[in-house]
Structure 1
Amino acid sequence: MDFILYDGIEWRSLFPITLTRSVSEIRLGLFTIKDRWEKYIGNKVSGIVTQPFLSMKYSFNSLINNEFIYHNILLINSSFLPNEELINMIFTLKENEAVFFQEKIVVVKKNFSSYVKKENLISFKKKHEIKNLIHIQYPWDIFINNKTVLKKDFVFFTKGKKSFSLLGKNSVLCKNRIFLEEDIKANNVVLNAQLGPIYIEKEVEIMEGSVIRGPAFIGNKSILNIGSKIYGGTTIGRSCKIGGEIINSVIFSYSNKAHDGFLGNTVLGEWCNLGAGTNVSNLRNDYGKVTVWNYEKKDFIPIDIQFFGMIVGDHSKSGINTQFNTATVVGVSASIFGYGFSPRYVPSFSFGGIQKKKKIPFHQVCTTADIMMKRRNLYFSILDKKILEYLYQLLDI
Structure 2
Amino acid sequence: MTRIILFEDAAFADLLPLTYWRSVFELRCGRRTLFDRCASRWGVAPVGVLTRSWIANVAADRLGLPVNEPLEPGDVLINPRWLPERGTTLPKPPFLGTCEDGIACIVCDKALAALLGPQDFLDRKRWSELIEQIGRASLPGAMIGYPWDLVLRNGQLIAEDWRASDAGIAGDVHASAVLINRDAIHVAPGARVQAMALLDASDGPVIVEKDAVIGSHAVVVGPACVGERSLVKPHAFLHGGSSIGPVCKVAGEVDACVFDGYSNKAHDGFLGHCYVGSWVNLGAGTTNSDLKNTYGTVRVPIGGKEVDSGQMFFGGVVGDHVKTGIQLALTTGSVIGFGANVACSRMPRTFVRSFSWVTDRGVEEGDVRRLASTAATVMARRNVTMTKSESDLFNKLPEIVAYFEPDVIAHRAAYESSEHRGQAKPVTQ
TM value normalised by structure 1 = 0.91
Contact 1:281 1:309 (8 Å CA) reproduced: yes
Tell me the distance in 1 between the aligned counterparts of 2:379 and 2:114.
37
Alignment of 1:109-188 (within 5 A): 109-111=107-109, 114-115=112-113, 117-118=115-116, 122=131, 127-131=136-140, 133-158=141-166, 162-168=168-174, 169-187=176-194, 188=196
Higher relative helix content? 2
Aligned residue for 2:98?
100
Shift of 1:82: 3.7
3-state SS, counterpart of residue 54 of structure 1: helix
Aligned residue for 1:263?
271
Structure 1 residue ranges, 4+ long, deviating more than 4 angstroms after superposition: 59-65, 68-71, 119-128
Shift of 1:4: 0.9
Tell me the distance in 2 between the aligned counterparts of 1:62 and 1:286.
49
Contact 2:78 2:106 (8 Å CA) reproduced: yes
2:29 is aligned with 1:28: yes
Moved more, 203-212 or 97-106: 97-106
Moved more, 265-274 or 379-388: 379-388
Contact 1:70 1:113 (8 Å CA) reproduced: no
Alignment of 1:247-262 (within 5 A): 247-262=255-270
3-state SS, counterpart of residue 274 of structure 1: coil
Contact 2:250 2:266 (8 Å CA) reproduced: yes
Cα 1:322–1:63 change in 2 (3 A) is closer
Contact 1:249 1:265 (8 Å CA) reproduced: yes
Tell me the distance in 2 between the aligned counterparts of 1:274 and 1:83.
36
Contact 1:46 1:63 (8 Å CA) reproduced: no
Aligned residue for 1:7?
8
Match of 2:253 among 245, 268, 292: 245
Contact 2:162 2:205 (8 Å CA) reproduced: yes
Alignment of 1:159-308 (within 5 A): 162-168=168-174, 169-187=176-194, 188-295=196-303, 298-308=304-314
Tell me the distance in 1 between the aligned counterparts of 2:95 and 2:87.
16
Contact 1:192 1:213 (8 Å CA) reproduced: yes
3-state SS, counterpart of residue 191 of structure 1: strand
The amino acid across from 1:269 in the alignment is: G
Tell me the distance in 1 between the aligned counterparts of 2:346 and 2:199.
36
Deviations 1:240-293 (A, max 9, x none): 011010011100000000100000000000000100010011112222222211
Structure 1: 5+ residue runs without aligned partners? none
Identity across the alignment (%): 28
Tell me the distance in 2 between the aligned counterparts of 1:134 and 1:303.
16
Match of 2:80 among 72, 78, 81: 78
Contact 2:49 2:67 (8 Å CA) reproduced: no
Contact 2:168 2:185 (8 Å CA) reproduced: no
Match of 1:313 among 297, 319, 332: 319
Deviations 1:149-203 (A, max 9, x none): 1111111233xx5541543121000011011210112222100000110111100
Shift of 1:125: 7.3
TM value normalised by structure 2 = 0.84
Aligned residue for 1:53?
54
Cα 1:360–1:109 change in 2 (3 A) is same
The amino acid across from 1:193 in the alignment is: A
Cα 1:291–1:32 change in 2 (3 A) is same
Aligned residue for 2:371?
365
3-state SS, counterpart of residue 147 of structure 1: helix
Structure 2: 5+ residue runs without aligned partners? 118-128, 406-429
Tell me the distance in 1 between the aligned counterparts of 2:200 and 2:318.
29
Shift of 1:302: 3.5
The amino acid across from 2:321 in the alignment is: H
Tell me the distance in 1 between the aligned counterparts of 2:261 and 2:215.
19
The amino acid across from 1:81 in the alignment is: L
Q: Over aligned residues, Cα RMSD in angstroms?
A: 2.3
Moved more, 112-121 or 200-209: 112-121
Shift of 1:114: 4.3
Contact 1:28 1:250 (8 Å CA) reproduced: yes
Tell me the distance in 1 between the aligned counterparts of 2:260 and 2:335.
16
Shift of 1:122: 4.5
Aligned residue for 1:331?
337
Deviations 1:10-55 (A, max 9, x none): 2111111112211111101000011011112222211111111001
Cα 1:207–1:364 change in 2 (3 A) is same
Shift of 1:353: 3.5
Contact 2:71 2:116 (8 Å CA) reproduced: no
Cα 1:341–1:171 change in 2 (3 A) is same
Moved more, 352-361 or 331-340: 352-361
3-state SS, counterpart of residue 143 of structure 1: helix
3-state SS, counterpart of residue 72 of structure 1: coil
Cα 1:110–1:333 change in 2 (3 A) is same
Cα 1:145–1:379 change in 2 (3 A) is same
Moved more, 304-313 or 231-240: 304-313
Tell me the distance in 2 between the aligned counterparts of 1:316 and 1:328.
13
